[in-house]
A and B are shown apart, each in its own frame.
Chain A
Amino acid sequence: MSSPLIELRGVTKLYGEGEAMVSALAGVDLTIHAHEFVAVMGPSGSGKSTAMNILGCLDTPTAGQYLFQGTDVGTLSRDERAMLRRYHLGFVFQGFNLLKRTTAIENLELPLIYRGMGRKERHKRSSVALAQVGLAERGHHTAAQLSGGQQQRVAIARALVSEPAVVFADEPTGNLDTAMSHEIMSLLRRLNDDRGITIVLVTHEEDIAAYAKRQVRFRDGRIHSDTGAAA
């Protein structure tokens, strides 16, 4: 069998110093294979976002190893990690992180511009992605003019628009109503089923987690349970 897509080995993350030191991750081992659909759950403050940021190459662990397709991410240069994010990873933030005064369409075009995609192609793709999250008519509104739920959907579309190998989504349905939540989850499920995109998402809701094929639970910076721990 080929090496796993993602492998965390004894990953720890410490914040602060001395008395105020917080251990957000206290030795996490996690293996995820290509085409998996994983839901990460756990109480608030258990380290879910911290783990996602490290997986998304947005943050570096204090200790431990992160292997992506067998390569130790810790040995990569900053530019190489940027290229990993550019071509292989998509990220949906808990706080959206859209460019506020930029239109929805242009927010979606951003990752495509960094990929060097031509104007026509990236515009077409952005429009399609926007329609998929039900915001076809809002393309020319700036992020600041959209509601929280709408911003969240733009953020999801931005992670999907470049069709990355893996999408990390930190509570992607946190601001959506039930109907919209299920619509987004069906979309993610389809991308996983049809295109084989690997998806890792954080959620607090069991019915959302049920869309995933594997559930990982965090507690106090450690993995507490894992329904599909890889062999």
Chain B
Amino acid sequence: MIGNALVLALREIRNNMMRAALTTLGIVIGVGAVIAMVTLGNGATQSVTNTVSSIGKNLLFITPGQRREGGPPGDAPAFQISDADALRREVLSLKHVVPVNQTSVAAVLGNRSHTTTVNGATTEWFDARSWTIVSGRAFNEAEDKTGKSVCVIGETVHHELFGGQDPVGQRIRLGKITCEVVGLLQTKGRNTFGQDQDDYVIMPIRTVQRRLVGNNFAYYIMVEVQNEAGIPEAKKQIAQVLRQRRHLNASQQDNFDVQDLREIGNMLSSITGVLTAFLAAIAAVSLLVGGIGIMNIMLVSVTERTREIGIRLAIGARERDVLLQFLIEAVVLSALGGIVGITLGLLGAAAGTAALGLPFVFQPSIVAIAVLFSAGVGVAFGFFPARRAARMDPIEALRHE
């Protein structure tokens, strides 16, 4: 019986290619759009997570001034290396404390020049950012303390100045000073926002302060807390130490800000969450459009199909023979549309994520949902009118207008 119904269903599909193609197209649109959109959204979310976790674990960023409204304006005093030293001394749960000064200069080697960002930091910077050195070494504590003119360069700087050559031991010019390249950083590529993470030069902070920018500031202090559980307590202690050092009395607000990387991550995630929701909404609309398309085809062909069913009944088909045939037709078209839709959706998502530089995150559940929905529409609007017709007297179905 199934074999016969299969023959009948396939013949009906073959003899009504246009109808079959339009039904399938509806499913393809719905399934394809949903998969493409949701995969893109997931890729964006994943990318943000990757970016945040690539910065380091359990990091806090302490900046002068206040993010929150109502805080003092941008005239809060800057930090100094002594602030970092105080934190290291007094907050015992901190693993690394890194004061950072930053400037932008032209790096020059021979006739090659490349404008880049110089990070003045301490040697702990490499550990805190869990950033490995692929060639040479990091600068050491002695070089830190004495402010020697040594530097570690990122891959972009390496490429721009040296091409393929080993930079270690070479001297480059940074603005008005020269420095010796002692190490090369591992490449990290671009982050979610398209920022090149390899376009940096890292130097001892004292060298940058004295010889490049001419101040004794730390624009921000980066600290790594021993473990995640200790973060809230560490934040409290950091605030205490800094309030004391900055002579704030009880009535005054903090004139500095301690940002938790997780908070930044959460904020970004909520943005990508909105993005994902937006994409999902577009996808839902596509699903609906596809569904309405299928519905339309089915409803338009109800008269024709009712008469077809009348003929089949007159010739000796039972209700169940007709229903089985229609079910198989719906399943075959849904499967076909599903497969094509999944393929196109994944290809589209692959192209989209590649173009946007996002990771490709496959979510099987959304494929299932999209296929089930489209197939459901196909079955509902193909099967139920068929069942109505198959329950009529043959002559009634044949007379259907």
A86 contacts chain B at the CB level, 8 A cutoff: yes
B residues within 8 A CB of A142? 15
Chain B 314-335 interface mask (CB, 8 Å, partner A; 1/0): 1111111100000000000000
Instruction: Give Cα A59 to B250, complex, Å.
Output: 95
A3 within 8 A of B: no
Given A60-B393, A158-B315: A97 and B398 within 8 A (CB)? Answer: yes
List residues of chain B with CB within 8 A of the CB of A229: none
B44 to chain A, nearest CB (A): 47
Chain B contact residues: helix, strand, loop or mixed = helix
Task: Tell yes or no: A101 within 8 A of B by CB.
Answer: yes
Contact of B311 among A59, A79, A97 (CB under 8 A): A97
Interface assignment of B308: CB less than 8 Å from any CB of chain A: yes
Select A116's contact among B4, B16, B307, beta carbons within 8 Å.
Answer: B4
Could you say which residues of chain B place their CB within 8 Å of the CB of A97?
Answer: 307, 310-311, 314, 398
Task: Using known A-B contacts A97-B310, A99-B308, A102-B15, determine if residue A59 contacts B316 with beta carbons closer than 8 Å.
Answer: no
Which residues of B sit under 8 angstroms from A191, Cβ to Cβ?
none
Of A40-48, A62-70, A107-115, A127-135, the stretch lying at the interface with chain B is: A107-115
The answer to whether residues A114 and B316 also contact, given A99-B15, A102-B15 and a CB cut-off of 8 A, is yes
B190 interface residue per 8 A CB criterion: no
Using Cβ atoms and an 8 Å threshold, which residues of chain A touch B394? 57-59, 85
Task: State whether the Cβ of B395 lies closer than 8 Å to any Cβ in chain A.
Answer: yes
Contacting residues of chain B (290-319) with chain A, CB-CB under 8 angstroms: 307-308, 310-319
Contact residues in B for A111 (Cβ distance below 8 Å): 315-316
Q: What residues on A are CB-neighbors of B396 within 8 Å?
A: 59
At the interface, yes or no: A91 with Cβ under 8 Å from chain B? yes
Please state if A113 and B314 are interface contacts (CB–CB under 8 Å).
no
A57 proximity list for chain B (CB < 8 A): 394
Closest A residue to B319 by CB, please name it: A78
**A85-B316 contact in complex given A53-B395, A58-B393, C-beta closer than 8 Å:** yes
List the B side residues contacting A82 at CB < 8 Å: 313, 316-319
- CA A51 to CA B68, docked complex, whole Å: 89
Alpha-carbon distance between A70 and B306 when the two chains are bound, in angstroms: 32
Closest to B11 in A: A106
Interface residues of A, count at CB 8 A: 29
Specify which chain A residues have a CB less than 8 angstroms from the CB of B313 in the assembled complex. 58, 82, 85
B7 within 8 A of A: yes
User: Are B15 and A101 in contact, CB atoms less than 8 angstroms apart?
Assistant: yes
Interface size class, chain B: 20 to 34
CB distance from B318 to the nearest CB of A (A): 4
Please name the residue on chain B nearest to A82 by beta carbon: B318
**Residue B284 lies at the interface, judged by CB distance under 8 Å to chain A:** no
A83 in the interface (beta carbon within 8 A) = yes
Whether A87 sits at the interface, judged by CB under 8 Å, is yes
Most chain A CB atoms below 10 A, which of B1, B11, B16, B316:
B316
Closest Cβ–Cβ distance, residue A109 to chain B (whole Å): 9
Interface string of A83-106 (1 = CB under 8 A from B): 101110001010001110110001
Cα distance, A110 to B312, chains bound together (Å): 8
Does residue B231 face the partner (Cβ distance < 8 Å to A)? Answer: no
Q: Smallest distance from the beta carbon of A75 to chain B beta carbons, Å? A: 16
Instruction: Report how far A56 CA is from B321 CA in the complex, Å.
Output: 19
Closest to B307 in A: A97
Query: What is the minimal beta-carbon distance from B11 to any residue of chain A, in angstroms?
Result: 6
A87 partner, pick from B1, B312, B316, B321, beta carbons under 8 A: B316
B8 proximal to A (CB < 8 A): yes
Smallest CB–CB gap between A30 and chain B, Å?
19
Cα A57 to Cα B320 in complex, Å, equals 18
Q: How far is the CA of A142 from the CA of B16 in the complex (A)?
A: 12
Known: A82-B313, A86-B316, A106-B11. 12 other contacts (CB 8 A): A58-B394, A58-B395, A59-B395, A79-B319, A85-B394, A93-B314, A93-B398, A97-B311, A98-B311, A101-B15, A111-B315, A158-B315
Interface pairs (28), CB distance under 8 Å: A58-B313, A58-B314, A59-B396, A60-B393, A79-B320, A82-B317, A82-B318, A82-B319, A85-B313, A85-B314, A85-B315, A85-B316, A86-B315, A86-B316, A86-B317, A91-B315, A97-B310, A97-B311, A97-B398, A99-B311, A110-B315, A111-B316, A113-B7, A113-B8, A114-B4, A114-B317, A114-B321, A142-B15
Q: Which residues of B contact A (CB under 8 A)?
A: 1, 4, 7-8, 11, 15-16, 307-308, 310-321, 391, 393-396, 398
